[in-house]
Structure 1
């Protein structure tokens, strides 16, 4: 009988330990750092499919979007960040709020779908953004753009979603070399980063976007393969992103896997361990 009681006590102690660990992990993720796995190629060459990083959530302060969403379709679990942190309000403000800077690589909550996106912050409140002949113009002035060679990758399915890259050098057969022109873009505040070009398309020439107060304009570094603020939400894009939807800033890649799973250690990219996000 004593053994049974001891066994039952040990079982509940184990359950309590697991619950406490989950609570601590939840608080840590909500307040400090959130893991993020890059699922698509919209931020190449800065971020590759399979990069794993932690998002700094302290830098911009906290809003309802700081809480994680838990969605497991197989068991019908759908807990939204707003269900957990809706008490913070939806007035486009933040607690201990910090201002993002132009050029930051930011994870944010999509204003319509609620999914987490990662893009580069291009336009601040009040800015006028326009693309002319593929060149970014901010407040009527084109940014500095310098040719930086060619970005090359293997034309093969990438990541868990098995996405095939788009290539500037036309249709490329499986296993061939997929090429894109690479440029260094320098924003008005001096932040420089690499961008890619695939070819001429509608998004290379746009109207003028005027960024509303307490909203931001985001673009992917893989300019011709990114769904971002250039396309309104009604058309499947991102549109302007409210201040309260910011989750955090991506500062450093922890490791990177070129395979279908982060567990396939033989596909890890050794040159991307602890790499800074520029």
Structure 2
């Protein structure tokens, strides 16, 4: 469902009826007469729809985390807020940037339109920016030939698909000053080669049983999930075009299963 498009259509309809009433219909009624329901209801809803549309389009938009690809940073069921202007102001629906503000940086958590199906929103961590060379071999992430520092923090267990317990090793990773926790399953292969699909600029990447190396093209970004061995990300479907960017995730505002997560900042 394209919610921004639906909001825009409702905004145009209610705004059009309100304007029609102000310029034409009101003059045809008696001074104290109330308009018909099909005029009064849209007039009442128009200001509310306008405020919601502007907030979601230019300031902050809520999202719900549907999968475990960003565990332990984000859990299934987290409701998060996304800053819509920090990466530049974009036209609603078309998502075309009209004002530059900041560029996405390594280590930030970004929401974007899934390149394979732009009607879907994905959330991942930015690993490589335009011009970077990202390498992942033997579970070690390297950016521009500099290994990313990983500090062990013990084990991490979570339940997946009913009663399926998943055991991982937890590490504190530092990427350009952004410190965050990641999960690595030592028993999982470094990369699922069968899951790698053809994608634009595929020639920028090389794969083998130990991992991959990718050169990030201009106006694109390389992303990965914090749950490294349980994430569908740029390793498998390619780079994120700049035009697909939605915004920067910055806070958890609700979780029905764990109220302690409310208000946590996203690192």
Query: TM-score, with normalisation over the residues of structure 2?
Result: 0.75
Shift of 1:37: 0.4
**C-alpha distance in 2 between matches for 1:154 and 1:126:** 38
**C-alpha distance in 2 between matches for 1:175 and 1:254:** 28
- SS at structure 1 position matched to 2:42: helix
Judging changes above 3 Å, is the alpha-carbon distance between structure 1 residues 200 and 95 closer, same or farther for their aligned structure 2 residues?
same
Q: How many pairs were matched up?
A: 218
Give every structure 1 segment of 4 or more consecutive aligned residues whose post-TM-superposition deviation is greater than 4 Å: 5-11, 174-177
Structure 2 counterpart of 1:171: none
Residue 64 of structure 2 corresponds to residue 37 of structure 1: yes
- SS at structure 1 position matched to 2:99: coil
Shift of 1:14: 2.9
Q: CA RMSD in A?
A: 2.3
State the structure with more CA Rg: 2
Contact 1:63 1:245 in 2 (8 A): no
Judging changes above 3 Å, is the alpha-carbon distance between structure 1 residues 223 and 23 closer, same or farther for their aligned structure 2 residues?
same
**C-alpha distance in 1 between matches for 2:179 and 2:224:** 14
Structure 1 counterpart of 2:168: 180
**C-alpha distance in 1 between matches for 2:123 and 2:47:** 31
Judging changes above 3 Å, is the alpha-carbon distance between structure 1 residues 137 and 94 closer, same or farther for their aligned structure 2 residues?
farther
- SS at structure 2 position matched to 1:207: strand
> For 1:12, which of 26, 33, 39 is the aligned residue?
39
Residue 189 of structure 2 corresponds to residue 201 of structure 1: yes
Residue 196 of structure 2 corresponds to residue 192 of structure 1: no
Structure 1 counterpart of 2:235: 230
1:258-269 alignment to 2 at 5 Å? 268-269=257-258
Residue 99 of structure 2 corresponds to residue 95 of structure 1: yes
Contact 1:253 1:275 in 2 (8 A): yes
Judging changes above 3 Å, is the alpha-carbon distance between structure 1 residues 269 and 9 closer, same or farther for their aligned structure 2 residues?
same
Structure 2 counterpart of 1:253: 252
**C-alpha distance in 2 between matches for 1:6 and 1:48:** 54
1:89-128 alignment to 2 at 5 Å? 94-114=98-118, 115-128=120-133
1:23-102 alignment to 2 at 5 Å? 23-63=50-90, 67=92, 81-82=93-94, 88=96, 94-102=98-106
Shift of 1:208: 1.5
Judging changes above 3 Å, is the alpha-carbon distance between structure 1 residues 210 and 94 closer, same or farther for their aligned structure 2 residues?
farther
- SS at structure 2 position matched to 1:12: helix
What are structure 2's unaligned runs of at least 5 residues? 1-31, 192-208
**C-alpha distance in 1 between matches for 2:80 and 2:212:** 34
What whole-Å deviation, never above 9, does each CA across 1:42-89 have from its counterpart, x for those lacking one? 00000001000110011001335xx3xxxxxxxxxxxxx33xx5xx4x
- SS at structure 2 position matched to 1:35: strand
Residue 122 of structure 2 corresponds to residue 142 of structure 1: no
**C-alpha distance in 2 between matches for 1:27 and 1:219:** 30
